[in-house]
Amino acid sequence: MAKKATDIPTPVIRRLSRYLALMQYLCKKNMNWVSSQKVARHLGLTSVTVRQDLKYLDFTGVGKRGYDTTGLKSTLIKFFSADIDNSAIIVGAGHLGQALIQHKEFLTQGFKICAVCDVNPEIIGTKAGPLVVQSTDDLQDIVRENKIQIGIIAVPREEAQQVADQLILAGINGLLNLSPEHLASRRTVPVVDVRMIDSLRELVYKIKKTTGL
């Protein structure tokens, strides 16, 4: 597959996602038009960046008014398939996994948690929000039967790679990795990492810098 017009840089993708969140907010407030400058101010960017980013979508603004918030929202929803209830499984029903199941924002943003599983026999069979915790042994069957697209890895670092391998074998389409482990085999299946500890350390460094040395 050749490099397509759909090949958008990652930083742009992440900003497009933030534009979607902002459009949802502005639409709810009945603001019908927004300028690139206002978007920029809301999100801590420059107006040129915003206009450059929007060029990647087939969505154009209007002369002196700016962008139609409803139209841009719809375009971004389609772009991110945010109207489709992308199915996901959470592996690891510890505190973090449990919190994610209950997290309502996922559903409103187009993600549906269809299943949870864990290795701990003591919690298998118990309820976690609206779901029943299943055994990680059955992980592959669960993914296949429910045609789950996204695997969310919320297990300790030692188990992360093995879980990833199983999910990939079962035919998962992509992985969100909440563990600090770097997952191999990115070639076959895309992986996006959320590294909370690294974010905290980045913060510690920035604090040091601003408070002098």
Residues 46-65 that bind DNA (CB under 7 A): 46-49, 51-52, 54-55, 60-65
- Under rule CB under 8 A, residue 153 binds a second copy: no
Cα torsion 84, 189, 1, 51 to 10°: value is 60
Options 6-14, 58-66, 118-126, 130-138: segment touching a second copy (CB under 8 A): 6-14
Between 36 and 179, name the residue whose CB sits nearer to DNA.
36
SS3 58: coil
Q: Is 196 in the site for a second copy (CB under 8 A)?
A: yes
Count of residues for the chain? 213
Burial class (CB in 10 A: 0-12, 13-18, 19+), 91: buried
For residue 213, CA distances in Å to 97, 199, 210 come to 38, 19, 8
State CA 160 to chain mean position distance: 18
The only residue of 42, 70, 123, 140 in contact with a second copy, by rule CB under 8 A: 42
- Using rule CB under 8 A, residue 186 touches a second copy: yes
Closer by beta carbon to a second copy, 51 or else 195 = 195
60 binds, among DNA, a second copy, none (CB under 5 to 8 A by kind): DNA
| CB neighbour list of residue 49: distance below 8 Å, 6 or more residues apart | 15, 40
Summarize as ranges the residues that interact with a second copy (CB under 8 A).
1, 4, 6-8, 10, 13-14, 16-18, 20-21, 42-44, 79-82, 86, 94-96, 98-100, 102-103, 105-106, 109, 111, 149-150, 173-176, 180, 182, 184, 186, 189-213
